[in-house]
Amino acid sequence: MEENTQEPDHLAGTPNQVIIHEMPDGCFGIEAPQGASMRLIASLFHGLAEQDPSLQMDVDLSRRLGWTYFLGPQEALIQRRDEQKAEAEKNRPDAGAGFIERLRHWFEFGERGLSSETLAAYAKAKHGNGSLPEDIDYPLDAGDLRRCRLLVEQVPEASPNQLPDLLDASPEWKAIAFEWDALCAKMDEECPEWRNPPRDARSRQVSQMLSSIVYPEVS
């Protein structure tokens, strides 16, 4: 199925055209222009969910596969994630590769979030390959911290303790950097398989510890 959906003029100042691609494994890739009406997007999601309640959205696959949104049944998404991981491992540069090569691989294949992208941006700027970002995001829970750890494992230059400009600009990151080793040790203890956790894995102690570090006044 390939369907063009255009929002009526009375719902938006300019038309929004969204293209839905249905794939053989039951997944859907959705192309939407920047600034598309969220009312239109929500309506599309609702319609797809009515057809198949098992559909889930995967932000990482959306980015890696080049879609605005990517949805599918859980088993199909797992299969696609496994394929992406296999491709990432096949193309992973070794530890002796240059900083930019390792960081480029992470940008293409890594599990990214706002806080890990902040680390990557500051590491790039430190090495003269970019400017400092306007926004600074820091990890708020164990999932965010995990993505930061995956980046630092592949690109040690992105460790918060290696980024003095970031620590000067963000008291939250400064506090996290001070407790980085303790946070990592707690994650290793609570979720030893954190690199490839089962879907039902939870790290509540890590999230609580992180919250007490970032927001000491409310802990």
pLDDT in tens, 34-46: 888 888 888 889 9
- Rounded Cα–Cα distance for residues 120 and 118 (Å): 5
Q: b/e string for 100-139 if b means 16 or more Cβ within 10 A?
A: eebbebbeebbbbbebbbbbbbbbbbbeeeeeebeebbbb
Residues in the chain: 219
Q: What is the pLDDT of residue 16?
A: 66
Q: Name 69's bridge partners.
A: 30
Listed range (9-13, 89-93, 156-160, 175-179) with the worst mean pLDDT: 9-13
Higher pLDDT, 99 or 89: 99
Tell me, what's the pLDDT at 122?
Answer: 97
Q: Which of 79, 105, 87, 88 is nearest to 158 (CA)?
A: 105
Q: Which one-letter amino acid corresponds to residue 80?
A: R
Residue 200 pLDDT grade (very low, low, confident, very high; cuts 50, 70, 90) = confident
Residue 6: per-residue pLDDT: 41
Q: Per-residue pLDDT tens for 67-80?
A: 999 999 999 999 99
- CA nearest neighbour of 13 among 45, 41, 42, 35: 35
